Structure 1
Amino acid sequence: MRYDLVIFDNDGVLVDSEPLSNRLLAAYLTELGHPTSYEDSIRDYMGAALHRVHDLVLERTGQRLPEEFDEVFHRRVFAGFERELQPVDGVTDVLEKLAADGVPYCVASSGSHERIRVGHRKTGLDRWFDDGQVFSSEDVGRGKPAPDLFLYAAAGMGVPPERCVVVEDSPLGVRAAVAAGMDVYGFTAMTPADRLSGVRGHFADMRQLVDLLS
């Protein structure tokens, strides 16, 4: 292994939550009078913290989302997680291999700590991550595409940025990792490779990651 730390994005990389959460986000924004398709949501918000949704809606329409927006959206997402959330196919094989080889890893997500915990508990991934391995955009001032979250995670794990590799599936996340001075591998299960520029390589099957990191 040529890296001292593997940093995973969460949504779409560890848990298969992006289709569900973007479907719910598009529906909720449309319900509030901001017509948004599933494709719009994927393009504009995939990989971002919720403050980006507030910022873009305000910028485009001059209107603020309701105060209870985050709370209602999280409630809908968590209910969806309980119904249908699954781990990304093959990710437990990767975590098992990293753990067996003694390679440190963590998660750095735009989602809240609660969202990460709920998703991991539902999918059984909680056994692979203790609290010291979980970092959220709630912990920093700016979410992706700013580098802050990845730099915070690296510092928390005691590893210099240049010794870290990030596994991402969104353009915003890739931009954040590159800005942090880290290598990135782009997971293309939901995002076309040409939208993940600046990565060291692309892969479509999570099981391919171990070979890429070796």
Structure 2
Amino acid sequence: MLKALLFDLDGTLADTDPLHRLAWQEVLAPLGLQVDEAFYRKRISGRLNPEIVRDLLALEGEAAWRLIEAKEARFRELAQGLKPTPGLYELLEKAEAKGLTWGVVTNAPRANAHHVLRALGLHPPLLLLAEEVGRGKPDPLPYRVALERLRIPPEEALAFEDSPSGVKSAVGTGIPTYALLTGHEEKTLLEAGAKGVLRHFHQALDLL
């Protein structure tokens, strides 16, 4: 029996990836890196910030922290007037009517997660930050901890993601997972293990 819906944040609850891409473009351009859409999908999307700057610039420690802080502050400046992915509110209303709980499982830093949720007017019963558990997606740990906190097995949850790393994280925990086509191609998401793809959450209403 289905008991919970678990959502990624960026690219899932709202199409924030264009804003993240712009923020990365602005902070990386002075360092000689050009961030186009393909580069963003391959090297940045769905990854933790420390991994991104270590991979792209071989930066760690204080220098990495300063760059990450600058990028995320710029993202929050850009992320005004966010709109939810179409159908999200209707899906949450139907879930509530059926007695389901829901939560957000994200690699996003705490300040960003609270900023996006506040902008969307959302108050998830569960907010699981990868930085709290020590490992981020694609590692299954964030979803495993979310299930432990909800005290349910994976088959009693549904996950919604938008990146291959997010899909792998949820599927690696055994949760049936659907992927939003906000940033990645259908083939890539299905290869990562998604049961199906969605263009918006109106298409998810029949899953409940």
CA distance in 2, matches of 1:45, 1:177: 19
Report the alpha carbon displacement of residue 63 of structure 1 after superposing the two structures with TM.
5.1
SS in 1 for 2:2: coil
Aligned to 1:177: 170
1:92 and 2:89 correspond: yes
Report the alpha carbon displacement of residue 112 of structure 1 after superposing the two structures with TM.
1.6
Moved over 3 A (4+): 62-67
SS in 1 for 2:197: strand
What TM-score do you get using the length of structure 1 for normalisation? 0.88
Change (3 A) 1:164 1:201: same
Residues 15 and 120 of structure 1 are in contact (CA less than 8 Å); yes or no, is this contact kept in structure 2? no
Report the alpha carbon displacement of residue 49 of structure 1 after superposing the two structures with TM.
1.8
SS in 2 for 1:174: helix
What TM-score do you get using the length of structure 2 for normalisation? 0.90
Aligned to 2:72: 74
1:208 and 2:203 correspond: yes
Report the alpha carbon displacement of residue 139 of structure 1 after superposing the two structures with TM.
1.2
1:49 and 2:52 correspond: no
Could you tell me which runs of 5 or more consecutive residues in structure 1 were left unpaired when the two chains were aligned. none
Change (3 A) 1:78 1:22: same
CA distance in 2, matches of 1:108, 1:100: 22
1:151 and 2:144 correspond: yes
Give the letter aligned to residue 114 of structure 2: R
Residues 23 and 38 of structure 1 are in contact (CA less than 8 Å); yes or no, is this contact kept in structure 2? no
CA distance in 1, matches of 2:91, 2:36: 33
Identity within the alignment, %: 27
CA distance in 2, matches of 1:94, 1:43: 30
Residues 143 and 149 of structure 1 are in contact (CA less than 8 Å); yes or no, is this contact kept in structure 2? yes
Residues 27-81 of structure 1 show CA distances to partners (whole Å, capped at 9, x for unaligned) of: 32222223322331122221222122123114xxx45554401211111011111
Give the letter aligned to residue 205 of structure 2: V
Report the alpha carbon displacement of residue 164 of structure 1 after superposing the two structures with TM.
2.1
CA distance in 2, matches of 1:179, 1:202: 18
Pairs aligned (count)? 204
Aligned to 2:194: 199
Residues 71-120 of structure 1 show CA distances to partners (whole Å, capped at 9, x for unaligned) of: 111110111112x4222122111111111111111110110222111111
Report the alpha carbon displacement of residue 162 of structure 1 after superposing the two structures with TM.
3.2
Could you tell me which runs of 5 or more consecutive residues in structure 2 were left unpaired when the two chains were aligned. none
CA distance in 2, matches of 1:99, 1:7: 13
Change (3 A) 1:55 1:9: same
Residues 113 and 135 of structure 1 are in contact (CA less than 8 Å); yes or no, is this contact kept in structure 2? no
Residues 26 and 38 of structure 1 are in contact (CA less than 8 Å); yes or no, is this contact kept in structure 2? no
CA distance in 2, matches of 1:63, 1:10: 26
1:166 and 2:164 correspond: no
Aligned to 1:18: 17
CA distance in 1, matches of 2:184, 2:35: 19
Residues 22 and 42 of structure 1 are in contact (CA less than 8 Å); yes or no, is this contact kept in structure 2? no
1:38 and 2:37 correspond: yes
1:123 and 2:120 correspond: yes
Task: Map 1:98-117 to 2 at 5 A.
Answer: 98-117=95-114
